[in-house]
A and B are shown apart, each in its own frame.
Chain A
Amino acid sequence: MGSSINEARTKQILVLVGVALLLFFPILDSNRYHLNLTILIALYAINAMALNILLGVAGQISLCQSVFYGMGAYVSGILNVHLRLDFLFCFAAAIVAAGLLAFLIGLTAIRFKGHYLAMVTLVIVVIFIEIVREWYGLTGGPDGFPGIGKPRIGPFVFDTEIRYYYLVYSLTLILIFFGHNLVQGRTGRALTAVRQDETLSYTFGVNPTAYKLKVFVLSGLFGGLSGSLYAHYSSFIGSEDFSLHVSITMLCMIVIGGLRTGVWGGFLGAALLTLLPEWLGALIKW
């Protein structure tokens, strides 16, 4: 008993140290390039966490996380540029739109398992990218979509990396807290039951179809949220930012960080796969 209490204490301390590090990071290191990377890590971590709940906990493979990410980014960008709407409205609309899309895709996807599910979600990416490339008037097609405004809440504009860092990380921490509670609680246990044995889960009163659909929509909401943040941060988006390659990278993040690690593994994987190309790039130049 004593050891488990100690373990819990150690965990709490680790979490506190981690949060404190995140809080003071921009003060310790205000290099804009480093902040840029940490912001990207957070955006990927949100997606990786969604995938980890979907795949690690509920056992549903998805290759279309980048579609939800892209849906959020494009909806937010299009509303902001074409209709000149406020950031908060774009942000909310992006989340709702990606969630809705995930619901529609989920209705098809819940009929499939394993490799077949991988194939269906992979096909979704191809369809999404092609529509984005062809719908020139709305999305800018292959040239990309420029000119998305910096987020603004009332008079306050998130126009520097430091301000954006705090916006992104406060949202990320809230989502991690939410995801952690979700995985630890009743829903998490129900999803684990669905992963381990769908038929058996019925006998516990868990409806696997409903849970699969819910967790799919959740991955859509997370993707939409991070996508909107990405669009307003980089102010330019292109279809390559949301290609199949991005989905695969997100999958690699949770495989490297560890499946079934709840929500933390995705964060480590996102950090590693965002930083590694930068380090290796520097190494090659050197």
Chain B
Amino acid sequence: MSDLLQYLISGLTIGAIYAIVALGFHIIFKATEIFNFAQGTFVVFGGLLAYSLVVNAKIHFAVALVLVVVMGLVAGRFLEIIIRKPLLSGAHLIIIIATIAIGIILENAYLLIWSKEYVPFPPFTAGDPIPLFGAIVPRQSLWVIGLTVLVLVLVKLFFKYTLSGRAMQAAANNPMAARSVGINVELMIIYSLAMSTALAFVGGMMIAPITFAGGPAGPGLTVKGFVAGILGGIGNSNAVILGGLLFGLMESVVGGMISSGLKEAITFTFLLIIFGFKPMGLFVRAREGH
């Protein structure tokens, strides 16, 4: 019983990161109808930037978090410059290849600059894990879950109450109509990409103390975030977040209870079966879709 609780806690922690990656996919997809297959690589890159700030430059982690968000926004701007041409062409395959290529280049660059190995990252607050009904909760898990909730609430509030957020939604839902009321749709696409990379960077910084920073973890995160998003139902932000959490829980429970070596194979096989029944995702109604 306490074993299961332990798996649920670690599943929820990693699920929070998948949820953030999946939300990044969702925001870009809403704005541009494409998927950014470099998303996971951006997560790892954000973790490494945070490592340099916190460990090398000895900046307080709260300040580092803000700096990482700013860097994420800037990175999103550069991403937009690179993929603008393929975006205009509208060919799905070209964009998939282009973002995969960006991911590969970025990954090789940071493996060269930082380290080929995973680098240890100190937890945000030191201290023993907290016992809970026979299981233990690492302090970093609390940070990850808490910060994820905070980030998600901020994103929701941004989309609901700020003029930019509402303009972004309008531009995503109907670019033509949005243009006719004076919304700069291209600028909104830039905002979406910037927001998505900023989310990825924050996710990378939060998870780094648990999984370590750097290493060739990017493509794996991309695949899982993407699958988690589709599991929930891309096109609906709540569904995407639930998909991320559910995927994390499934992976963790399968890994602990059945086989840690085959956890991905089993989880993915299970998901393929789910997709056979609910191709649009678990948490969207049939007509809603994307």
Contacts and interface: CB of A to CB of B under 8 A. Distances in A.
Contacts, number: 62
Q: How many of chain A's residues touch chain B, expressed as a range?
A: 20 to 34
B225 to A, nearest CB: 11
B262 A134 contact: yes
B268 A126 contact: yes
Contact of A130 (B94, B96, B265, B271): B265
Contact of A115 (B35, B97, B268): B35
A130 B226 contact: no
B276 interface: yes
Contact of A127 (B230, B265, B276, B279): B265
A110 to B, nearest CB: 11
A64 to B, nearest CB: 12
A123 B261 contact: no
B271 A123 contact: yes
Interface in A97-123: 108, 111-112, 114-116, 118-120, 122-123
A246 interface: no
B272 A130 contact: no
B265 A108 contact: no
Main secondary structure of the interface of B (DSSP, over half): helix
Nearest to B97: A255
Nearest to B231: A119
Given A119-B230, A255-B97, 8 more contacts: A114-B92, A115-B96, A119-B226, A119-B227, A123-B223, A123-B272, A130-B261, A251-B97
Contacts of A255: 93-94, 97
11 contacts: A55-B93, A111-B279, A112-B275, A112-B279, A114-B92, A115-B92, A116-B275, A116-B279, A123-B227, A123-B271, A134-B261
A111 B276 CA distance: 8
Interface residues of B, number: 25
A189 B275 CA distance: 31
Contacts of B92: 61, 114-115
Interface in B89-147: 92-94, 96-97, 100-101
Interface in B256-280: 259, 261-262, 264-265, 268-269, 271-272, 275-276, 279
Contacts of B232: none
B219 interface: yes
Contact of B223 (A55, A115, A122): A122
A126 B220 CA distance: 9
Contacts of B230: 116, 119
Contacts of B94: 255
A131 interface: yes
Interface of A: 55, 61, 108, 111-112, 114-116, 118-120, 122-123, 126-127, 130-131, 133-134, 244, 248, 251-252, 255, 259
A244 B219 contact: yes
The 7 A-B pairs with the shortest beta carbon distances in the complex, nearest first, are: A130-B265, A134-B261, A127-B265, A123-B268, A127-B268, A130-B264, A134-B262
Contacts of A61: 92-93, 96
A48 B97 CA distance: 15
A119 B276 CA distance: 13
A115 B275 CA distance: 13
Contacts of A248: 97, 100
A126 B219 CA distance: 11
Of A123, A131, A259, most B-chain CB atoms within 10 Å: A123
Nearest to B229: A119
A165 to B, nearest CB: 31
Contacts of B223: 122-123, 126, 244
Given A55-B93, A115-B35, A126 B265 contact: yes
A37 to B, nearest CB: 22
A259 B91 CA distance: 12
A55 B259 CA distance: 36
A126 B264 contact: yes
